[in-house]
Amino acid sequence: MINEKMVKLGTKRSIIREIFEYGKRRKAEIGEENVFDFTLGNPSIPAPKEINDAIIKNLSRKDAHGYTSAVGDNKLRENIASNLNKRFGTNFTFSNLFITYGAASALCSTLRALLNEGEEVITFAPFFTEYTVFTEAQGGKLVVVPANLETFQINFMEFKKLINKNTKAVIINSPNNPSGVVYSEDTIKELANVLRDKQLEYNHEIYLITDEPYREIAYGVKVPFVTKYYDNTIVCYSYSKSLSLPGERIGYVLVPDEVKDSKNVYAAVAGAARALGHVCAPSLLQFAIAECTDLTSDLKAYEENRNLIYNGLTDLGYECVKPDGAFYLFVKALEPDAYEFYKRAMKYDILVVPSDDFGVTGYVRIAYCVSKETIINSLPKFKLLMDEYK
């Protein structure tokens, strides 16, 4: 009688959230230090001190808690544009930016803006599980290109088989959740070439949605700025990871002028956000972030963590592609069924996420945005887990 799809979505929650809730209960039972919780991409590095200072400072504004324009605070939008222009040689202005409740809202608004009922969106395994939910809820169908298991770059052979005249958009996510892999410039160039060819062949636009919450978290490799490679690119961003503000829900949609009919696309994003319940992104945090657009958290701890856990696990015999970004390790499970492996790891209070919902079987995701101690203390447990399979 009520909407059964929504009941299902609310009952069968994201497995990540499910394990996270279990982890919270388990920590209360046996102590936080005894649970090796690698489930959630909740940044372990605190927000920069400047954010908290800016929050306190902006509290004295008369409009600290007032509505901003639906599109977002102008100063915030200007400062984001100027930061991007400095770093990437682009020419954005505030009018290219729409401030959202984080990347989830940015993606939902963008998808709703672009899609007509039944159109297809392509993404590449492994992929962030919620893309399925977001796409289907906005009337589209998510088509998943099987992974390139050697590199976790794009599997172009399979991509070319799956793209078709109903393809309206493609979502990429680099640095990638869950693999930690950064798409190389070659990958982006080839992707852009395929999309340009297919636009001509099908005689309609194909939008490239680039979901970039991990843009700033990369270890010594270049993360290509995608709008420079393909005109119909729309960027969805979040400050969740770069400023360690995941709970604050501030992100944006960037619609460059190069996008076909960009003014209409931007208007559709605004309209879609409105239709999904957006009024304005949280005001105080908008004002605070406006003063911190050139900052990031002290992200180098993630690189140390990456080295520690990657070396630790591969020394123990675990297999994984070395990740160059984000804070995830995508490790081959020690048995074909990732879910069975996840459950066995749980016996040692190691909490990891089985890969099936990411579109790949037989792996687990390890979110290493945790304390160094958690990683160090988990390694003997990972050894015991490995020993079970020997």
CB of 366 to its own copies, least distance (A): 18
Residue span binding its own copies (CB under 8 A) among the ranges 99-107, 151-159, 188-196, 380-388:
99-107
Which 6-35 residues touch its own copies, going by CB under 8 A?
Answer: 6-11, 13-14, 17, 21
Member of 31, 247, 373, 390 binding its own copies (CB under 8 A):
247
Q: In the chain, where does DSSP find H-type helix?
A: 4-11, 15-30, 49-58, 74-88, 102-114, 130-137, 156-162, 185-202, 262-275, 283-290, 300-316, 338-347, 372-388
Q: Does the protein bind its own copies through residue 68 (CB under 8 A)?
A: yes
CB of 16 to its own copies, least distance (A): 10
CB of 112 to its own copies, least distance (A): 6
Member of 29, 32, 33, 63 binding its own copies (CB under 8 A):
63
Q: Does the protein bind its own copies through residue 204 (CB under 8 A)?
A: yes
- Strand-pair partners of 233: 208
Rounded to an integer, what distance in angstroms lies between the CA atom of residue 191 and that of residue 292?
33
CB of 99 to its own copies, least distance (A): 12
Q: Which is nearer to its own copies, 267 or 379 (CB)?
A: 267
CB 225 within 8 A of CB 90: yes
Looking at residue 248, the DSSP 8-state letter turns out to be G
Residue span binding its own copies (CB under 8 A) among the ranges 78-86, 214-222, 274-282, 354-362:
274-282
Residue found by looking up tokens 């701890």 in the block = 301
Q: Does the protein bind its own copies through residue 163 (CB under 8 A)?
A: no
CB of 302 to its own copies, least distance (A): 16
Residue span binding its own copies (CB under 8 A) among the ranges 171-179, 185-193, 280-288, 337-345:
280-288
Q: Please state the φ and ψ torsions of residue 350, each to the nearest 5 degrees.
A: -95, 120
Q: Please state the φ and ψ torsions of residue 141, each to the nearest 5 degrees.
A: -125, 125
Q: Does the protein bind its own copies through residue 265 (CB under 8 A)?
A: yes
Q: Does the protein bind its own copies through residue 245 (CB under 8 A)?
A: yes
Member of 34, 69, 91, 193 binding its own copies (CB under 8 A):
69
CB 302 within 8 A of CB 43: no
CB of 165 to its own copies, least distance (A): 13
Residue span binding its own copies (CB under 8 A) among the ranges 147-155, 247-255, 323-331, 382-390:
247-255
Q: Does the protein bind its own copies through residue 203 (CB under 8 A)?
A: no
Which 282-341 residues touch its own copies, going by CB under 8 A?
Answer: 282-286
Residue type, 102: G
Residue found by looking up tokens 């843009």 in the block = 215
Q: Does the protein bind its own copies through residue 137 (CB under 8 A)?
A: yes
Q: Does the protein bind its own copies through residue 249 (CB under 8 A)?
A: yes
Member of 3, 220, 373, 387 binding its own copies (CB under 8 A):
3
CB of 280 to its own copies, least distance (A): 6
Q: Which is nearer to its own copies, 62 or 390 (CB)?
A: 62
Q: Residue 124 burial (CB < 10 Å; 0-12/13-18/19+)? A: buried
Q: Does the protein bind its own copies through residue 116 (CB under 8 A)?
A: yes
CB 96 within 8 A of CB 112: no
State the CB neighbour count (10 A cutoff) for residue 181. Answer: 25
Q: Does the protein bind its own copies through residue 268 (CB under 8 A)?
A: yes
Q: Does the protein bind its own copies through residue 40 (CB under 8 A)?
A: yes
From the list 193, 202, 205, the residue with the least C-alpha distance to 234 is 205
Phi-psi category of residue 113: left, alpha or beta, with phi > 0 → left and psi -120 to 50 → alpha: alpha
Q: Does the protein bind its own copies through residue 264 (CB under 8 A)?
A: yes
- Strand-pair partners of 124: 145
Q: Please state the φ and ψ torsions of residue 255, each to the nearest 5 degrees.
A: -110, 100
Specify the DSSP element, H or E, that contains 252: strand 251-254
